[in-house]
Structure 1
Amino acid sequence: MSGLPAWPGRYTDRYGSQELVFESDGRELIRTTIRGVPFEGEAMDALGALAGEPPEKMFRLADGHLCSCLLEWDVPLTVGTPGRPPRTGVLHCALRLGDPVPSGALDEESLTVTLRLDGRAYGGGENLGDFETALYDIQRRLPPGDRLRACIACAWSDYSPAGRPMMGGLACFRDVRDRYRRVDGKHGPLGIFALWPQLTEFVQETYLCGEFEPRGAHGGYRGSFP
């Protein structure tokens, strides 16, 4: 083990199913070992074998990344409520990666995310597309006053107007927060593109650091949360 936070999970494909552990720094690194083969990537839909492509009979790959499989994992997620200590729930994630098609894409990429907190389940809608959409959906379903405490809900995070991946790719601007407060769109001296080169780091939506502040009325480029 590497000392990175560990997420229990499972890998399933046409050859069988295996319980495993995903390790992640919460930023741009996810790694695991499946059937003795180490995999690593920046996101769950971009896991590639570290020692070249493994035998075809063990896995299916598209552009070097796992496909034709189901990946499941559990991530701790903190929820805050005024007047109460923060509680930690479990975010259960399931990502179904389909088969490759001639264009090089997959015929399916379906994400299901459910938060289990205080004996209840929130979310669970299928094919939500990406973590931003899934976590917005969960936040809307939580009881009044409950707020996710994670980078997706932080005052200093934003996505690029050029697009976002299924997970990760969330830019943190905590080191230039005063300038980020003045962001008013895409372009111009106060646009997100002008500030982009000064981002602190990229993080996953569920990451949480000690400088978290709830996202308020000022929403940067991407807007408020939810």
Structure 2
Amino acid sequence: MKTYQGLYKHNGVIIPIKLCNNGKELSVEIEGRLFVGSEFTDLTYHGDLFDLDSSIFTLTDDGYSALCYCQIELFIPQVLSVENGNNKIVDLCLCTTIGAFDFEKSTITEEAIVLSLSLNEETYIGKGDTIEVAFDQLTMRLPKGETFVNCYGCLYGDYSVYGNSAFGTMLCFKHVKSEYQAVRGKDEYMDLCEDYSDKLEVVQEIHCCESFVMRGCGGAYR
């Protein structure tokens, strides 16, 4: 279980928080109220709805009662590989914006992730509607030779051809390494995902394990 320090922001209210992450599920207690989910847009409330202060919380009106119309800012320790081959621990700032709930469309109006990293008096930023896009931008702006040692930066981390959510739906191919590296083209990749579906894991982009291999320009799909 990892714990990240951060801030919860809603309509001018700013509350310090600690978000817990077990690699599959996120949980955060805000003003004594517990919210749990697999990603930021489904942090659902576990408690009596009549207890909530509407000046602090807005929830989706879809039966799930997930946090919306807010920002969550977290400081996440990550490993950065630098040009001389050494690794160092850095604090990656992740800020996610969750828009208001649109009842007619039964969805939130906005979802955005901004990643920022301060190195040597410079701040590097990446942003997008998914953490993949935000990481893509951020890594392109880092000094030459520097890259993240995490699932996003790993050779065996990839995504479904049918798309991915904003956070935490990366596919890990570490159990079929040779088959994954032998793939050529989208059709072969789709076949691989179907044939070895029982050997694939769903991981968070910010996770890392002992099977990590620097991605470089490799990879079957992304």
In structure 2, relative to structure 1, the CA distance for the partners of 1:17 and 1:162 (3 Å cut) is same
Residue deviations 1:95-152 (CA, integer Å, cap 9, x gap)? 1212111211222223221112343211154xx1111011111111111111221101
Q: Give the match for residue 94 of structure 2.
A: 93
Kindly provide the amino acid, as one letter, of the partner of residue 76 in structure 2.
Answer: V
Identity level (%): 25
The yes-or-no answer on 1:6 pairing with 2:3 is yes
Unaligned runs of 5+ in 1: none
Distance 1:141 1:60 in 2: 35
Q: How does 1:20-169 map to 2 (within 5 A)?
A: 20-25=17-22, 27-51=23-47, 53=49, 55-58=51-54, 59-62=57-60, 63=62, 64-101=65-102, 102-125=104-127, 128-169=128-169
What is aligned with 1:211? 211
1:54: how far off?
5.5
Which one-letter code corresponds to 1:106 in the other structure? I
C-alpha distance in 2 between matches for 1:53 and 1:197? 39
C-alpha displacement of 1:48: 0.5
Letter in structure 2 aligned against 1:123: I
TM-score, reference length from structure 1: 0.87
Task: State the 1:14 CA deviation.
Answer: 2.8
Q: Which residue of 1 aligns with 2:15?
A: 18
Q: How high is the TM-score relative to the length of structure 2?
A: 0.88
- Cα 1:87–1:107 shift into 2, 3 Å: same
